[in-house]
Structure 1
Amino acid sequence: MCKKLGILGGMGPLATADLFKKVILLTDANCDQEHIHILIDNNTSIPDRTAHLIAEGDDPREQLIASAKRLESMGADFLIMPCNTAHNFYEAIIKEIEIPFLNMIEETSKFIAEKYAGKKIGLLATEGTCQTGVYDRAIQKYGMELVKPTKTQKNVTDFIYDIKAGKDITIDGFNESVEELKNLGAEVFILGCTELSVGYEMFKMKGNYVDPLEVIALRAIHFAGKKSLKSL
C-alpha cells in the first residue's frame, strides 16, 4: 500500500506549491488513483527562520513541531519539508513525532556525492542557511568541499525575498553571486533555498544546478512506494 505523504509547508507558500507540483509531475501515474495521497499543512504562521538564527527573531520551533504533529494526526506516514533553513530545527522536530521525516539537506548532499564526486560545490542560500553551516556539515561528511558567496551574499538574499514578496525581479544580482562562486572554484551549485527552486524555473537557468526540491520530491515518491518518471 502506498504511504501517505505529509508536507510541512508555508515556508513559503509558493515553494510549498512548487514541491506539491513536482511530486505530482514526477510520479509515474496513469490516473488519479495511481498518485500519492498527499497532506499539506501550509502553515504561514511559522516565524522567519533566518531572522531567528541570525537576528534573535521569534523561534519557529513551536510552530514547526505543531505542524509536524498535525500532519501525523491527520494520517501522514512520513514527512518532508520544503525549507532548507528550517532543517536547522530538524532534530527538535523528530523528537516530537513517531513517523519518518526525510531530511532534504541530507538527501541532497547524498545525491551530490553520488553524481558530482570530486567537484567543489557552491551554495546559494539564505544567510541563515549559510551562517549555521547546515549544508557545510552534510557536504563535508562525504569528503567534499563547499564554498559560499561573501561579497555578493546580499544579492542572493534579495533575490530570495523578492520572490517571496512577488516583486518584479531580475536575475543579474544572482548571476553575480554564481560568478563569485565560480571564481572560488565551484563547479556545481546548490539552490539552497526553495525560492531559488522557483527562480530556477522562472528564469530557465542553465548549468550544474542541484534543486533540493526535486531531490526530495523524487526521494519521497520512492519512499511512498511509487515509481518516478526521473531517476536520481
Structure 2
Amino acid sequence: MKTIGIIGGMGPLATVHLYERIVLRTKALKDQDHIRVLIDSNTNIPDRTKAIIGDGEDPTVELIKSAKLLEKGGADFLIMPCNTAHYFIDKIQSSVHIPFVNMVQETVKRTVDDFGRDAVVGILATDGTIKSKIYENYYASLGIKTVVPQKSQESVMKFIYDVIKKGNYNEGTDLLFEAVEELKQLEATAFLLGCTELSSAQYLYKFEGSFINPIEVLTEKSIEFAGGQLS
C-alpha cells in the first residue's frame, strides 16, 4: 500500500482526529493491514486566515517545508487537514513530486453524491476560507448554491479559536449553532463544517444532522488512494 503523508498541526487536534479516523475506518485484522502514515504536526505554520486577509505571515514557507520533509521521508502522497490552507495548495503541490489529495475538492464532490445539485450549502468556516471563496468557487463550478453567515460569522470564529483551539470544550456548541440557525433562515439545506476544528467539534460533541465533514471525506479518499479497504 501507499504511504500517506499528513501536513498537520493546523490545529493539532484536527491532525489527531484525521489519523484516528484513518485507523478506525481501515478494514484490518492485524497491524500489517493498516496503512503506513507519516505525520508532521508542524505548529510553526503561521495562521492561514491572517495571511489571507492580508495582515499575517505567509504560511507557505512552513507548509512547503512539511511537504518536502514528508516526501523525503517516504510519503507517496500528501493530505492536509486544514481547509483554509488549501488556498495555498498549488504552491505546495509545485514544490514536491508526489500527488496531493485535495480535501476541499473531494468534499464538494461528496456533497453532490450525498445531497444532490439542488442542495443549498451553508458554509461554516474561518474568515479566511470565506473571504478566499475556496468552497464557494468549487461549489459554483458544479452549480450548487452556497450561503454564508452574515450576523453570526463572529460567533463561528469565537467557537473555532476560543472554544476548540483553546480546549475550552465545556463551553459547548451554542456559538456554532447560532450560525447554523442563521444559515437555516438563509435556506441552507446542508451545512459544511468548513474548518477542521469544526470537524473535530463533531467528533467531540457527537452532534448529528445534515452536516458535511471534510475530515471524514478525506479519511475515506485517503484510504482508497493508499490502496486500503474501508471498514
Q: TM-score over 0.5 for the alignment? A: yes
For structure 1, the 5+ residue unaligned runs are none
**Percent of aligned positions that are identical:** 47
Q: Are 1:223 and 2:225 an aligned pair?
A: yes
Letter in 2 for 1:22: R
The corresponding residue for 2:99 is: 100
1:134 corresponds in structure 2 to 134
Q: What amino acid is the match of 2:30?
A: C
Equivalent residue, structure 1, for 2:11: 12
Q: Which residue in the other structure is 1:89 paired with?
A: 88
Matched residues in 1 for 2:206 and 2:19: separation?
A: 20
How many angstroms apart in 1 are the aligned matches of 2:171 and 2:133? 28
**Is 1:59 equivalent to 2:61 in the alignment?**
no
- Provide structure 2 residue ranges, at least 5 long, that are not aligned to the other structure: none
Task: Name the residue aligned to 2:201.
Answer: 199
AA aligned opposite 2:103: M
Distance 2:186 2:164 in 1: 26
Name the CA distance, whole Å, in 1 between partners of 2:4 and 2:80.
11
Match of 1:184 among 170, 183, 186: 186
Q: Give the Å deviation of 1:55.
A: 4.1
Q: Secondary structure at the match of 2:171?
A: coil
Once the 2 structures are TM-superposed, how far is the Cα of residue 150 of structure 1 from its aligned partner? 1.0
- Per-residue deviation, 1:170: 2.2
Q: How far off its partner does 1:203 sit?
A: 1.7
Report what 2:110 is aligned to: 111
TM-score by length of 2: 0.97
Q: Which residue of 2 aligns with 1:145?
A: 145
Equivalence for 2:165 = 164
Task: Write out the 4+ residue segments of structure 1 that deviate beyond 6 Å after TM superposition.
Answer: none
Deviation at 1:26, TM superposition (A): 0.4
TM-score, reference length from structure 1:
0.97
- State the match for 2:176 in structure 1: 174
1:163–1:169 Cα contact (<8 Å) kept: no
Higher mean C-alpha deviation, range 83-92 or range 201-210: 201-210
Task: Tell me the C-alpha RMSD between the 2 structures.
Answer: 0.8
Q: Which residue of 1 aligns with 2:49?
A: 50
